[in-house]
Amino acid sequence: MNFTRVKISDLLAKNEITYSFEFFPPKNYSSILELGINVGQLMKLSPSFISVTYGAGGSTQDASFDLIDYIQNKIGLTTMAHYTCVNASKEKVEQDLKFLHDRNISNLMLLRGDPPKGTKDFVNKAGYFQHASDLIELAAAKSLFCIGAAGYPEKHPESVNMDNDINYLKYKVDKGAHFVVTQMFFDNNYYYNFVQKAREAGIDKPIIPGIIPIVNYKQIKKFSDMCGTQIPDELVQQLEPYQDNREKTYQIGVDYAIHQCRELLEEGVPGLHFYTLNKSRATVDIFSEIRK
């Protein structure tokens, strides 16, 4: 199939709200089947674009590229490929970007990536890319891609403070990023303050909030601790008594996400980016409410 290349920056320029979903590559056959079912359910919502992660430590690159190729060229949905600095020599990056462009990929989310499992610090081989800004600069020079950068409303865990984090985001934008997608957050005030600081720093690109519904409290608590994301006390108080009750947790989490999304939409956000964790039910339920 041949599909028209669409850049996310062009979608955002229309000033219409974008709705996007993020998936990660499945690790085994049963996960492939489950993902196929969930992708099918989410496709019915007509998302603006899909993003596919690079896998932990860049370890699942082949699976990532296969999934990207399938969604872009078989299903026909605009797909954004995540790409990180992990094991990224200039030669390898050049080859991979050509591979993606040859498969009709026009959108990239460029990230540093996580440290290898069992280590605290990100240390790449000498001569390899060390920072997301390095990838952004190289990709931007080709003028073939629309480039997304990550933003952290509660600052990156490794940043000394928010001002430092905002300055680095400005650097990534100056190197060629066209838009920003944020890390998940549960208190919208963090997002509003982040956007205000970004604008004061001269960042004029769209900043899309990242949303994750809490359907498994223990799992999200673990993610939040890793990312430095705060779960509001009132939400914790609602969830903790039911952390072993999956259905009650699900309902509390989805109701909270609906309220969060409605408030963000009322404030005029450019879009909503959902971290689906390869599940469809919560996102479908949220959409049925916020798009009424």
Residues marked as catalytic: 22
Cα(185)–Cα(211) distance, rounded to whole angstroms? 7
Measured in residues, the chain has a length of 292
> What would you report as the CA-atom Rg of the chain, rounded to the nearest whole angstrom?
18
Name beta bridge partners: 79. Answer: 50
Residue tagged 């026009």 (tokens): 106
> What's the distance, Cα to Cα, between the start and end of the chain in Å?
33
Chain center to CA of 136: 16
Tell how strand 146-151 and strand 179-184 pair up: parallel
Q: Which residues pair with 249 in a beta bridge?
A: none
The set of residues, in sequence order, having a beta carbon less than 8 Å from that of 257 and lying 6+ positions away, is 211, 212, 213, 214, 282, 286
Q: Can you tell me the distance from the alpha carbon of 263 to that of 259, in angstroms, rounded to the nearest whole number? A: 6
Phi/psi of residue 202, each to 5°? 95, 10
